[in-house]
Amino acid sequence: MAGEKYEVHRRMYDMLRDRDAPGAKMIVEWLGGIFSAMDDGRPIVYHSFALFSEVIIALDLQPLCCEAWDMMASHVDPQHPIKSIDVAHEAGIPAEMCSYDKAIIGSVMRETMPPPAMIALSATPCQNAYITYQAVAHLTGAPMWVSDIPYDMDEVGAEEYWVEQYKGLIAFLEEQSGKKMDYDRLREVVEESNRCVEYWLELMELQKMKPAPRSGPLWTGTYAGMTSFGLPSSTAAVKATLDKVKEDIAQGKTAVDDEKVRVIWFHFPVGWDTGLIKWMGEMGAVVPYVEMDGYRAEPVDTSTPESMLRGMARRALEVPMVKIAQGATDRYIEDLLYVIGEWKGDCAIIAGHPGCKWITGAHGLISDACRERGIPVLLFDLDLVDHRVTSGDESRARIEQFLNMVLESQK
């Protein structure tokens, strides 16, 4: 089987396929689809995490979100992304580039990622991603479509332009695959993703409870969006998380026994430090909101093909990172302050991924905005993929000192 070439992901598939958990089933279905597509010669479509998979699935093409592929591998082999990053460095990719993106380029070069028939992405959330997929297109020879996004969606004609770009995505996939979009099938997919979104939004609302029922990333929602959006497996995974949280609430269970401080983690989680949130909980710190979970969108109107395309285009702008990382710092700060208020945060931690230069460059503005409102905020560089940049001991020492300061100020 062709899939046997990708040993790390095959191990993950084997590890998860006998588990009953809906989240495991969602990942198994996605990985199994990729392996089957390789064996059957069915087209694989690379897409970025900022472009959900509905239209790809509706065309009966196999989505492969490159960021998710490498994130999965790190659960089985923590050195997998490190090896890919080092290969990218050796090939001349700049060290200051985002490590998520360096890992993708390195994995393509190492041939640890199945080759694509085509590549589809939107020009978000940052230039790192855009440039990375250009490099991947060059390395693989696969044709690529980039949905261009206006800098300011409030400008006259900006939304119409963006909707036309989304239509262009479908036209590209049709042309490259030789398939025609079946809008009845698309309606089925979008109605399924609508259900998934409803469960996702309800989960996020429950996290506003004080004390919080869960701490740290919810995971299933984000993985659903990246791998299987519009399939029943993704909806089932998010619903299972929601049901478990509701069950815990009914039984009076909370994320930590004695919630002392609520921390807004306004970035993606640290992929290599899986015990960080539990460690913070030992100090009485709960994390009710992680930015990667922050998908806040309306259901898509599925009454007509036009309403579906328009709704999906609008909803694509609410993908975590996309809505706050298009370049204007005020959007980022406004959303941070909104989240702190809605999720009752006592403080915020922004472990600024070194590849996210737009965050590092805004440290002063972020600090000023939080200081004016009396919100403690910790800003420091912590690579979310590569543990060699800032060690676990160093980052935990900073977080511990910060949390102790916040706890002391509450006395």
pLDDT at 326: 66
pLDDT at 325: 67
Domain membership of residue 235 (yes or no) is no
pLDDT at 1: 37
pLDDT at 400: 96
Quick one: pLDDT band at residue 70, thresholds 50, 70, 90?
Answer: confident
What does pLDDT average to over the chain?
90
Residue 154 has pLDDT above 80, yes or no: no
Min mean pLDDT across 28-37, 220-229, 231-240 is at 220-229
Quick one: pLDDT band at residue 47, thresholds 50, 70, 90?
Answer: very high
Domain membership of residue 239 (yes or no) is no
Domain membership of residue 405 (yes or no) is no
Give the helix ranges, DSSP H, for 178-304. 183-206, 220-223, 232-250, 276-281
Closest CA to 68 of 317, 292, 280, 230: 292
pLDDT at 34: 96
Closest CA to 310 of 199, 133, 190, 142: 190
Percentage of the chain modeled with pLDDT above 90: 60
Quick one: pLDDT band at residue 221, thresholds 50, 70, 90?
Answer: confident
Quick one: pLDDT band at residue 103, thresholds 50, 70, 90?
Answer: very high
Domain membership of residue 370 (yes or no) is no
Quick one: pLDDT band at residue 327, thresholds 50, 70, 90?
Answer: low
Mean pLDDT, residues 263-289: 92
**What one-letter code names the amino acid at 309?**
L
Domain membership of residue 49 (yes or no) is yes
What does the alpha-carbon distance between residue 372 and residue 376 come to, in Å, rounded to a whole number?
10
Q: Which two tokens stand for residue 216?
A: 């740290």
Residue 97 has pLDDT above 90, yes or no: no
Residue 58 has pLDDT above 70, yes or no: yes
CA torsion 358→359→363→366, rounded to 10°? 110
Domain membership of residue 341 (yes or no) is no
* Count of the separate structural domains present in the chain: 1
What does the alpha-carbon distance between residue 15 and residue 69 come to, in Å, rounded to a whole number?
16
Mean pLDDT, residues 189-210: 95
pTM: 0.92
CATH of the domain at 9: 3.40.50.11890
Domain membership of residue 75 (yes or no) is yes
Closest CA to 136 of 58, 212, 202, 70: 70
Domain membership of residue 147 (yes or no) is yes
Which residue range is the domain that position 44 belongs to? 2-179
